[in-house]
Amino acid sequence: MSEPLRINGARLLDDLEALSKIGETPEGGVNRPALSAPDLEARRWFRARAESSGFEVLEDGMGNISAVLRSDVPDAQTVMCGSHLDTVPNGGRFDGALGVVAALEVLRTVQDAGLMLPYHLEAMSFTDEEGTWGGLLGSRALAGRLTPDDFENARGSTAALFKQAMESAELTPQGALRAQRSPESIRAWVEVHIEQGTRLEESEAHTGVVTSIVGIASYWLTFIGRADHAGTTPMDRRLDAMRGLAEFVRQARELVMNRFPKGVYNCGSVQISPGAFNIVPERARLALEFRHHDAGKLDAMREALLGLALHVVEVEGLSLEVEGLGMYPPAPMNRAVIAAIESSCNALGLRYAEMASYAGHDTQVMAGITKAGMFFVPSVGGASHSPRELTIDEDCINAGNVLLNAVLRLGEDSRT
Amino acid sequence: MSEPLRINGARLLDDLEALSKIGETPEGGVNRPALSAPDLEARRWFRARAESSGFEVLEDGMGNISAVLRSDVPDAQTVMCGSHLDTVPNGGRFDGALGVVAALEVLRTVQDAGLMLPYHLEAMSFTDEEGTWGGLLGSRALAGRLTPDDFENARGSTAALFKQAMESAELTPQGALRAQRSPESIRAWVEVHIEQGTRLEESEAHTGVVTSIVGIASYWLTFIGRADHAGTTPMDRRLDAMRGLAEFVRQARELVMNRFPKGVYNCGSVQISPGAFNIVPERARLALEFRHHDAGKLDAMREALLGLALHVVEVEGLSLEVEGLGMYPPAPMNRAVIAAIESSCNALGLRYAEMASYAGHDTQVMAGITKAGMFFVPSVGGASHSPRELTIDEDCINAGNVLLNAVLRLGEDSRT
């Protein structure tokens, strides 16, 4: 077996460093919410870097920007790789950015090596992975999963702000809805991303090969009682919405940990009304999110958690409003992509561990239209969505090398 | 025993009706937050009504307005009665207003009857009983219980708005701090108020003679954990502030109902941060209020509830911030005033029941400087702070008659 091709590590690290200056924060983080001025600047930087290497640059109606290294084979399919340039507010330098610069470096390395591939190679930067305006917007546009509703029913002031942000990027909902690509044109998708956890550190593996991306469901649950004077109403005559909320939060944790040990749940926000010290709460609105890798188990979690909420309101004499905010189904990764990543690790002498992803990524959308897979490199201490986010240089270079070799293997696969 | 003196019921009802038009809302409620335009109009109405009867009108630096029927006895003390004209937003027609018009009617009845009393009689309208700007402001000013802090440290925009509102009423903090009356000048205080509950309806009594006004303590409790990714962080490694909040709310209810059956507590508001579906809550800030009639028990509740919060954070691995917002001590009513009210009921052929007040009233402040007491008349269905608030005409007239006779008895008492 010949020595595997390797990327130019210094060039990749230079790109990462340059990118980290765009939207840099005093704490050493990066602030590039999707379609913000720093995000638009990062896109221009990416375009300029791609053009300086002579790549064709594509931009679609959702603002996805990609560099393409064309094959001269007629009717060639495309092997795509990439990630996203947007960040959460005051996020880290590596989340998304590493996957984009690694993809660009893959194209440059293939070009430098003079390889003539029988497929196009495309390095993609997707718009709004993080959810400033909805989440996974770019990949959903490319996969044909957006609807007018994604633009019209953003809530309250957000809809107007979203419209402004789209205009500032010279984008329109009509254009975004036309960004769909033909699935037949795409051979495969691979993404490298930082782990955002500590499993790699603990297992001392270099890369985490993702076997599936978690399914996510979100709900607003509103427990409804009766507003009463908190002094004059006897304790045993109150219909206290807060009590329903507290019972649900407590029992939901036991339910998930006992019945769904591989699932997770979160109650991340609460709104109480009327919301005064001296008024018994009439409405307690709870943000509920839960995740599981198994579609059947995710359904069972939904039934169990909503059933628990109904049980709680019955016991407490309250009523319940349930508002579903949508569900991302679990996305198992393609076995051929997993094999390409793992054999690349073996060829490069890198230890890998298979693992599930508990975070959402553009790859889960791409899995709906093509052979898709992704892998992680270590996050020091697991820090994520934080200026403390760190992936050491060696692991960034590993990211590029594994991505390069996986992409080349997926191309071999395309000739079979 | 001679037939008791009686008020002019029609005149009292006319006043109530006229007052209900000031700040009237489409739902049939009244909107007169303290120092708002409708509240200022209601004060002018009260002054005009008092002046049209020939009474002296006083206004102090906190905006308290009163009508005085002077005695010609040298160095006479004053028997005061009254309540407040301000309301909660979209409140009812009776809360506070009934006590003020009943007091005014008492003065008119005494004047009409040509009684020469050995004490001054004063009908008081206190500023901001309801808490638009702090609560019980007028009675606290008169009792010398205000400090500069009440004006300077109103929070955020409220401090500036309070300043504006004071100016619109031509009031200043300096003036308010000089509104204190000499306790020696006051012989007694009596207030009539609607019950805001259903105990009178259930007991079929005409009046509720208050034996004590509840003590109230308020705190912000903040449960502090660690913000983490709600997908990638295993359930058993989270420090979830929401979990501490839920455990506290649930256990606090059991604690209060089991150990303090005569106390009440409320958790009326919550603020979660960061407050996102996909982030484990770092901070959960809970508005806690609890009430008891016994000073020792109120202290014990404080120790038990704060102790419970500390226990919960220890078990959950969280930390706790406690922010005390002050405490109103319980106020036992004066036995002589209770006796005057009860013997008036007996003379008028009205059934009464003794009861504690679980709501705060200006009377609790007056109890700190003079012999003070109060009584309730029925609220239909217990509706309170609502346009549905209703006290039937007969009970409004009873309110005036009991107040009149109690005030006369307290004067007799003053000659002994």
- The CATH number given to whatever domain includes residue A307 is 3.30.70.360
Label residue A114 exposed, middle or buried (CB < 10 Å: 0-12, 13-18, 19+). Answer: exposed
At residue A154 the predicted structure's pLDDT band, cuts being 50, 70 and 90, is low
Q: Is A315 on the interface with B (CB under 8 A)?
A: no
Among residues A284, A305, A328, the one where a domain terminates is: A328
CATH for B114: 3.40.630.10
Q: How many CB atoms lie within 10 A of CB A393?
A: 12
Q: Is A243 on the interface with B (CB under 8 A)?
A: yes
Q: Is A351 on the interface with B (CB under 8 A)?
A: no
Same domain, A20 and A93: yes
Same domain, A240 and A200: no
Same domain, A116 and A51: yes
Is A1 part of any domain?
no
Same domain, B57 and B206: yes
> Does the distance separating the beta carbons of B229 and A196 come in below 8 Å?
yes
Q: What is the DSSP string of A136-193?
A: SHHHHHHTT---THHHH-S-THHHHHHHHHHHHTT--HHHHHT-PPPGGGEEEEEEEE
pTM for the model: 0.85
The 10s digit of each residue's pLDDT in B190-224 is: 999 999 989 999 999 999 999 999 999 999 999 99
* pLDDT the model gives residue B160: 86
From B107, B87, B121, select the one nearest B19 (Cα to Cα). B87
The 10s digit of each residue's pLDDT in A44-83 is: 999 999 999 999 999 999 999 999 999 999 999 999 999 9
The beta strands (E) that lie in B113-213 are given as 120-126, 186-194, 207-213
Is B144 part of any domain?
yes
Is A95 part of any domain?
yes
b/e code A320-329 from CB counts within 10 Å (16+ = b): beeeeeebbb
How confident is the model over A279-308, as a mean pLDDT? 96
Is A273 part of any domain?
yes
* pLDDT the model gives residue A408: 96
Q: Is B289 on the interface with A (CB under 8 A)?
A: yes
Residues of B in contact with A382 (CB under 8 A): 232
Q: Give the total residue count for chain A.
A: 416
Percent of chain B with pLDDT over 90: 85
The 10s digit of each residue's pLDDT in B247-264 is: 999 999 999 999 999 999
Please give the single-letter amino acid code of residue B219: Y
Nearest to B235 among A264, A284, A325 (CB): A264
Please give the single-letter amino acid code of residue A210: V
Is A3 part of any domain?
no
How far, in Å, CA of A150 to CA of B273, rounded? 26
Q: What is the mean pLDDT of chain A?
A: 94
pLDDT at A155 over 60: no
Nearest to B277 among A218, A229, A234 (CB): A218
pLDDT at B157 over 80: no
Structure tokens given for A298? 């995710």
- Asked if the ipTM is above 0.95, the reply is no
What is the residue range of A249's domain? 215-328
Same domain, B301 and B352: no
* pLDDT the model gives residue B212: 96
* pLDDT the model gives residue A416: 38
Same domain, A307 and A400: no
* pLDDT the model gives residue A66: 98
3-state class of A60 per DSSP?
coil
How far, in Å, CA of B140 to CA of B126, rounded? 9
* pLDDT the model gives residue A415: 43
Is A255 part of any domain?
yes
From A240, A213, A227, A229, select the one nearest A333 (Cα to Cα). A213
Kind plus residue range of the DSSP H or E element containing A11 = helix A9-20
How far, in Å, CA of A413 to CA of A336, rounded? 8
pLDDT at B155 over 80: no
Q: Is B250 on the interface with A (CB under 8 A)?
A: yes
The 10s digit of each residue's pLDDT in A205-248 is: 999 999 999 999 999 999 999 988 899 888 998 999 999 999 99
How confident is the model over B116-136, as a mean pLDDT? 93
Residues of A in contact with B247 (CB under 8 A): 246, 250
The 10s digit of each residue's pLDDT in A83-126 is: 999 998 889 999 999 999 999 999 999 999 999 999 999 999 99
pLDDT at B116 over 80: yes
Mutation test of the interface with chain A: which of B216, B242, B290, choosing the one with the most A Cβ atoms within 10 A? Answer: B242
Is B2 part of any domain?
no
* pLDDT the model gives residue A172: 96
Q: What is the mean pLDDT of chain B?
A: 94
Q: Cα B396–B401–B407 angle (5° rounding)? A: 125
Residue with tokens 């939207």: A23
CA atoms within 13 A on the CB side of A253: 21
* pLDDT the model gives residue B414: 46
Residues of B in contact with A264 (CB under 8 A): 230-231, 233-235
Q: Cα B308–B310–B314 angle (5° rounding)? A: 115
Same domain, A172 and A245: no
**Cα-based distances in Å from A290 to A61, A206, A404, B246:** 32, 29, 34, 18
Q: Is B13 on the interface with A (CB under 8 A)?
A: no
Residues of A in contact with B281 (CB under 8 A): 267-269
Same domain, A165 and A200: yes
How confident is the model over A335-364, as a mean pLDDT? 97
Same domain, A67 and A55: yes
* pLDDT the model gives residue A150: 87
Percent of chain A with pLDDT over 70: 98
At B151, phi and psi to the nearest 5?
Answer: -100, -35
Please confirm whether the linkage preceding A274 is cis (ω < 30° from 0): yes
Same domain, B223 and B283: yes
Nearest to B268 among A276, A287, A325 (CB): A276
Same domain, B317 and B365: no
Q: Is B21 on the interface with A (CB under 8 A)?
A: no
The 10s digit of each residue's pLDDT in B34-56 is: 999 999 999 999 999 999 999 99
* pLDDT the model gives residue B346: 97
Of A248-262, B142-156, B398-412, the range with the lowest mean pLDDT is B142-156
If you measure CA to CA, which chain A residue comes closest to B254? A235
Number of domains in chain B: 2
* pLDDT the model gives residue A278: 86
Is A4 part of any domain?
no
Same domain, B77 and B194: yes
Among residues B304, B328, B352, the one where a domain terminates is: B328
How confident is the model over B70-84, as a mean pLDDT? 96
If you measure CA to CA, which chain A residue comes closest to B357? A232
Among residues B328, B357, B392, the one where a domain terminates is: B328
* pLDDT the model gives residue A1: 54
